[in-house]
Structure 1
Amino acid sequence: MTNIMNLRRNVTTAVALTTLTTILAATTGCQTSLNGQTLPSPYYLQDDVQYFPAGPEFKLPREAAALRAARAEEKLNQQ
């Protein structure tokens, strides 16, 4: 008799957790990334907009300048 009661309690708990999880998932906005594209949540009209200005196209100007200087110094040392 206790096995049947335990089984019934486990089934009831599982159904309640599944129902709660489904309700939470349905009412929560989500943002997904699909094929490199970020798709908005259902609340995208209320979200604040983030703006990131474009940076320099070449990301390593100091390293390039250091390499040019090193090559020039190497040429001077070879002569």
Structure 2
Amino acid sequence: MALLASLAATGCQVDVAGQTLPSAYWHQDDVQYFAPGPEMKVQREATAQQQYRSEMEAQNARREAGTRLQ
């Protein structure tokens, strides 16, 4: 019975826990290529934070320079 079930399941592509397990015909499938993305996934967010930080430092420097003059 187990032998019959294993023979019937041979060659089937299965999706288990989010993974697609290959079938017996994997060598005939088209190769999928995913181009590499940017190294840092949140580059725009990091750039915005860096700009904000530099603006705050510039404002603080102007504020400190103004208090020194008075």
Give the TM-score normalised by the residue count of structure 1.
Answer: 0.51
- The list of structure 1 runs, each at least 4 consecutive aligned residues, that deviate by more than 2 angstroms after superposition, is 25-28, 31-34
Give, in whole Å, the separation in 1 of the partners of 2:21 and 2:10. Answer: 17
Q: Cα RMSD (Å) of the superposition?
A: 2.9
Question: CA-to-partner distance for each residue in 1:27-47, whole Å, 9 max, x for gaps?
Answer: 66123558xx75421111221
In structure 1, runs of 5+ residues without a counterpart are 1-21
Percent identity between matched residues is 48
The size of the alignment, in residue pairs, is 55
Shift of 1:60: 1.7
The 3 A distance-change label for structure 1 pair 33 and 26 is: closer
Gaps of 5+ in 2: 62-70
